[in-house]
Amino acid sequence: MRISPPQIWRAKRSLYKLTASKCNRCGNVDLPPSNFCSKCGSSEVSVVTLSGNGTLLLATENFQQRAGYEKNMPQYVGLIKLDEGPEIVAPLTDVIDEPKEGSRVNVVLRKLTTDSSNGLIEYGLKFRVVS
């Protein structure tokens, strides 16, 4: 596996925080961000950073990972309804008991993997259950 620092640098806005677009006309929030509102079609959109707070709609345990991420197995993956409106499928972290539907979650930055060829660490966003 190979982590590319230039590639991560270019994508840093979306890798380390939840960035979305918000329509200046109707207020709709699109994730991932778009140049057009998915609800009304307006091109008057602004880039916003979401709070990272949401509600867990459902969760499942994943026993498969792509090469280089095997240390994360098994891992819970959740469908999360963010407070700003969009839904996102994301990995869950710090899971002690089986996650329950309706639990409140928030986004955290976590280590995803270490590149064995050069020792670089890849970080990414996960969600943890807070209540």
Kindly state the tokens that stand for 68: 């280089």
Instruction: Report how far residue 48's alpha carbon sits from residue 20's, in angstroms, rounded to the nearest whole number.
Output: 5
CB of 78 to Zn ion, least distance (A): 27
Instruction: Report how far residue 109's alpha carbon sits from residue 101's, in angstroms, rounded to the nearest whole number.
Output: 22
CB of 34 to Zn ion, least distance (A): 10
Q: Does 45 bind Zn ion (CB under 5 A)?
A: no
- Edge-first strand listing for the sheet containing 19-23: 29-30, 19-23, 45-49
CB of 69 to Zn ion, least distance (A): 36
Q: Does 34 bind Zn ion (CB under 5 A)?
A: no
CB of 44 to Zn ion, least distance (A): 8
Q: Left (φ > 0), alpha (ψ -120 to 50) or beta: where does 57 sit?
A: alpha
Q: Does 37 bind Zn ion (CB under 5 A)?
A: yes
**Binder among 7, 10, 12, 26 for Zn ion (CB under 5 A):** 26
**Binder among 39, 104, 110, 128 for Zn ion (CB under 5 A):** 39
Binding residues (CB under 5 A) for Zn ion: these are: 23, 25-26, 28, 37, 39-40, 42
